[in-house]
Structure 1
Amino acid sequence: MSQEVIGLVGMAILFVLLGLRVPVAFAMFAVGFVGNWILNSPAAALSQLASDSFSLASSAELVVVPLFILMGNVATETGMSRKLYDAAYATIGSIRGGLASSTVIACGGFAALSGSSVASALTIGRVSLAEMDRFAYDNRLSTGVVAAGGTLGILIPPSTGFVIYALLTQESIGRLFLAGVLPGLLLLGMFILTITILTWWKPAYGPAGPKTTMSEKGRAMVGAMPILLVILLTIGGIYGGFFSPVEAAAVGAGLVILFGAAMRRLSFAMLWKAAKDSVVTTATVMLILISAYMIKTFLALSHIPQALGGFLETLAVPTLGVLAIMLAIYLILGLFLEGFAMMVLSMPIFFPVVQQLGIDPIWFGVLVVLTLEMGLISPPVGLNVFIVKSVAPGVPLSRIFWGVVPFWIAMLITLIVLVLFPQISLLLPNTMIG
């Protein structure tokens, strides 16, 4: 049996295991380890397991993951995320669809703090869904906007998705963070435009909320100042060159804890819970990464990436066409696989092709992360949809999926724009980092 056939059999077994609901990390580890054992040797497979586990566990760059997760968890425990929503609500909540637009803005702000789509949807959903229900918003719009707004957590930096992509491809985390800023703001604007169009077409979808006085707006902004200051210092510090991403994560986590303690909103029990949740999440990420490195080596030994690159070259398809094919595959996989699983499975196959064709890896990273976001609200997996369902158990799942359709279309339009105009993604990293 040839190396390529062994590789294809291994991938088929992997998808069978995933179909049987075996956890992604365990499925990838089993296939990668056994594949390395067969194609190389038992000693080499065991040696790689030890070396990859140690190198990942000792990676300084990976420290940003637990620190940014801790920062978001502490902000949730202390109610700072609620203040962020209150500020957005006081500013634009009184216009038609304003509560939904406030939710998107709050999701974007919380995304800039936690880097997690699931955390953004869960945290902001708990706050905003009750408010939109109180003002008789159509539950398709209210749940759809929370599910879609939560996806901003994987694009607007600091993004866990960019960190994982950087570790898998050896690209700069700082450059990826910078590359995500303008696309993230563009997507946020597209979501607000979508809400505006929907509520103009059917005003009953999102009636205007109560008007707030200037003093109420001022109090809401003052309440949100601690969290806004943390976002400004951490993200601004990275872009201004004052902090590395790791240092910014440490500064942000420290500031959130200090603010929580100073305002007497953070008890030791709350800090312990936030820390414990952060450890569990980080351990999950580590398991997936170790498994990804195992399967990456297996695929390299099987020569599948080289065979795929050669096949695409024989098609005489232009580079933009190859890129479109890869993104289309991501969109299809997003119907069945969780986002990080898609990335760690596909990157060992697609990234050599990207390098071979001369596609900018930073630009490609932004496009990949955006397609992962789309998978978060695509049926039947749609992780964010199920997160929203847990917050709004009375809303049928089918209505939530219908509610995300306009936002999925907005994301597709954004993806097309970013493909056609790569400078949107590359402007900041190319001008701010030499």
Structure 2
Amino acid sequence: MTLILVFAGLILLLLTGIPIFAALGLTASAILFIVEGDLDGLGDAVFTHLNKPILSTIPLFVFMAQVMIRAKVIDDLYTFAHTVIGHIRGGLGVATVLACTIFAAISGSSVATALSIGSSAIPQMQRFGYRERDALGVVAAGGTLGILIPPSGPMILYAIVSEASIGALFLAGIVPGLMLALMFSAYCMIRARGQSNMEAPDWAGWQAARAAFRRSVWALLAPPVVMGGIYLGVFTASEAAAAGSLYAVLVAMLVYRGFGLRDLWAAAQSTMRTSMMVFMIIAGAAMFGHAITLVRLPVGVTEAVAHLGLGPLGFVLVVMGLIFILGMFLESIAIILITTPILLPTMMSLGIDPIWYGVLLMINLELAMITPPVGMNLFVIKGITDAPLSKIVRGASPFVAIMIVGMGFLMAVPELATWLPTAAGFGR
């Protein structure tokens, strides 16, 4: 009953439209005032959660993404993908997925990926015979890869709340992320076979492909700079974020010469606003976690699951179903910060690998980005195209099914997520 009341109160507050951090903080304050009669301990809880060096990765990765976006890196990325495989039937869809995959590894943001790729890709796809619905769906779904392919903002938040290794999570997301990208690409090519009006542009030739590659090579090197350093043990996740930011600034100023000090200042301002929003949410989550711990809510969930007799797989299936439903109404950050503190003790008692669970959670959060009524990528695509929301939802619905199948693969074969971190020495 306590769990229901807490969730109901929190969701009601969120539905009023108030910020996430305020809803978390108000819920925590109400719980503490009812149970303890005062608000002692909230300040210490917030300080403890914010006093972590790993939090520096958030503004650094955000800054890296802002610089790369403002330097117009996306234009070269999409041109390269389009030049190489755009001439194949369905190749424009595959090129769009490829561009989303690469840009996701730079920006770490699903919304930024859908916004940046969509502006270039959707008109091109429609020009060569793609139905509007299909073009909208490919970009909406491809943009969700920003959550799973590292560096990922939601992954960093989950790692902070669960105290899991950020490096291990980043590596764990690579294979499942590429798997989903391949599944998306295969669907695009299969879908294209049934559309006789779909044209394929002429092959541009090897000279054009080499030229497109040369223009995009600096953007293509960004993910290896970040992930390669972590994988080879050259630097930690925090140092990787700093290296990525420095790389982005050097490339933007020395290679993309149109990027000036005014752009750098604008990127820094945008980074500050985004980072402060995230830190406020983390502070609210710290208060919420402190309050639910005092009322022994995680312990109650653990005991309830124990009485149900669910094994690890049964527990994960139930949780994924719950998070899928929550994803229709709540933002990804809210889902991570609300559910993880409650579920983590039960996960540990059942022996569930938090890295494997974290990747499953990220895929489920990808689903949340394209499932109505609160699918952020759906609204982003509507904003840049002014297409009816119903048409965008229909275009994205096949990709919802594909991601659910991908989650099934990952549940059946956990090594898809755990192999790479283990090979890199995490968890030994």
Q: What is the CA distance between 1:48 and its match in structure 2? A: 2.4
- 1:378 and 2:378 equivalent? no
Q: Partner letter of residue 303 of structure 2?
A: G
Structure 1 distance, partners of 2:24, 2:295, is: 15
Q: Partner letter of residue 15 of structure 1?
A: I
Structure 1 distance, partners of 2:398, 2:261, is: 43
Q: What is the CA distance between 1:9 and its match in structure 2? A: 3.1
Summarize the alignment of residues 27-46 of structure 1 with structure 2, pairs less than 5 Å apart: 27-42=23-38, 44=40
- 1:365 and 2:361 equivalent? no
Q: Aligned match of 1:337 in 308, 330, 351?
A: 330
CA deviation profile, 1:114-143 (whole Å, cap 9, x unmatched): 111111111111121222232232111111
- CA distance change for structure 1 residues 39 and 243 in 2, over 3 Å: closer, same or farther? same
Structure 1 distance, partners of 2:199, 2:402, is: 22
Q: What is the CA distance between 1:424 and its match in structure 2? A: 0.7
Which ranges in structure 2 are unaligned for 5 or more consecutive residues? none
Q: Which residue of the partner structure matches residue 396 of structure 2?
A: 404
Q: Which residue of the partner structure matches residue 83 of structure 1?
A: 76
Kept in 1, the 8 Å contact 2:93–2:189? The answer is: no
Structure 2 distance, partners of 1:203, 1:40, is: 69
Q: Report sequence identity in percent.
A: 36
Structure 1 distance, partners of 2:285, 2:223, is: 31
Give the SS at the match of 2:221: helix
- CA distance change for structure 1 residues 428 and 23 in 2, over 3 Å: closer, same or farther? same
Q: Partner letter of residue 141 of structure 1?
A: D
Q: Aligned match of 2:85 in 79, 92, 108?
A: 92
Q: What is the CA distance between 1:349 and its match in structure 2? A: 1.5
Structure 1 distance, partners of 2:325, 2:267, is: 35
Q: Which residue of the partner structure matches residue 23 of structure 1?
A: 19
Q: Which residue of the partner structure matches residue 204 of structure 2?
A: 212
- 1:317 and 2:313 equivalent? no
Q: What is the CA distance between 1:173 and its match in structure 2? A: 0.5
Which has the higher mean CA deviation after the structures are superposed, 10-19 or 104-113? 10-19
Summarize the alignment of residues 235-314 of structure 1 with structure 2, pairs less than 5 Å apart: 235-263=227-255, 264-314=257-307
Structure 1 distance, partners of 2:4, 2:400, is: 32
Which has the higher mean CA deviation after the structures are superposed, 365-374 or 25-34? 25-34
Q: Aligned match of 2:9 in 6, 13, 26?
A: 13
Q: What is the CA distance between 1:260 and its match in structure 2? A: 1.3
Q: Partner letter of residue 248 of structure 2?
A: V
- 1:200 and 2:196 equivalent? no
Kept in 2, the 8 Å contact 1:72–1:110? The answer is: no
Give the SS at the match of 1:322: helix
Q: What is the CA distance between 1:368 and its match in structure 2? A: 0.7
Summarize the alignment of residues 225-236 of structure 1 with structure 2, pairs less than 5 Å apart: 225-236=217-228
Q: What is the CA distance between 1:311 and its match in structure 2? A: 1.6
Give the SS at the match of 1:42: coil
Query: Pairwise CA RMSD of aligned residues?
Result: 1.5
CA deviation profile, 1:358-401 (whole Å, cap 9, x unmatched): 111110111111101101000111110101111111x2111100
Structure 2 distance, partners of 1:52, 1:143, is: 43
Q: Partner letter of residue 266 of structure 2?
A: K
Which ranges in structure 1 are unaligned for 5 or more consecutive residues? none
- Structure 1 runs of 4+ aligned residues shifted over 6 Å read none
Structure 1 distance, partners of 2:217, 2:166, is: 27
Q: What is the CA distance between 1:209 and its match in structure 2? A: 2.6
Q: What is the CA distance between 1:41 and its match in structure 2? A: 4.9
Structure 2 distance, partners of 1:122, 1:242, is: 33
CA deviation profile, 1:292-347 (whole Å, cap 9, x unmatched): 11111111122222222212222223321111000110111111111111111111
Q: Partner letter of residue 229 of structure 2?
A: G
Kept in 2, the 8 Å contact 1:98–1:209? The answer is: no
Q: Aligned match of 1:421 in 404, 409, 413?
A: 413
Which has the higher mean CA deviation after the structures are superposed, 7-16 or 370-379? 7-16
Kept in 1, the 8 Å contact 2:50–2:282? The answer is: no
Q: Aligned match of 1:354 in 333, 347, 357?
A: 347
Q: Aligned match of 2:321 in 315, 328, 334?
A: 328
Which has the higher mean CA deviation after the structures are superposed, 99-108 or 312-321? 312-321
Q: Partner letter of residue 12 of structure 2?
A: V
Kept in 2, the 8 Å contact 1:56–1:62? The answer is: no
Q: Which residue of the partner structure matches residue 132 of structure 1?
A: 125
- How high is the TM-score relative to the length of structure 2? 0.96
Which has the higher mean CA deviation after the structures are superposed, 217-226 or 228-237? 228-237
Q: What is the CA distance between 1:8 and its match in structure 2? A: 4.3
CA deviation profile, 1:78-106 (whole Å, cap 9, x unmatched): 11121111111111011111111111111
Give the SS at the match of 2:144: helix
Q: Which residue of the partner structure matches residue 167 of structure 2?
A: 174
Q: What is the CA distance between 1:11 and its match in structure 2? A: 2.9
CA deviation profile, 1:184-243 (whole Å, cap 9, x unmatched): 111111110111121123344x53233211111011000001111222211111111112
